[in-house]
Amino acid sequence: MKHNHFVIVLQDLTHAHKPETVTDRLALEKNILTTLCKEWEQLDPMGSGYSPQVQKDVSTSNTVDSYIRYRSCKKFLDSSMGWKLV
């Protein structure tokens, strides 16, 4: 069975911090998601592990890569939190 790592992290931090109210738990969840999105955005560009010649041959675009990362993060937030980001 595939595990959702976000759920595991949320459960662990909820257990460690013991939020007292639903608002506290939602704030914790939002902080986790915000941190995950920031980490996601700081990942090395796709293909950066390849040699410069291969990168040149493939000619990936940072604009496209950033957009793909943004859409992935947006889709995750929309589906897990019910948020509607633009």
Residue 57 has pLDDT above 60, yes or no: yes
pLDDT tens per residue, range 58-83: 665 555 556 667 677 777 777 666 65
What pLDDT score does 1 carry? 44
pTM: 0.51
- CA nearest neighbour of 40 among 1, 11, 6, 78: 6
pLDDT at 18 over 60: yes
Residue 69 Cα to chain centre, angstroms: 8
The mean pLDDT value of the chain amounts to: 76
Q: CA-to-CA distance for 46 and 66, rounded, in angstroms? A: 10
Q: CB within 8 A of 77, min separation 6: which ones? A: 33, 37, 83, 85
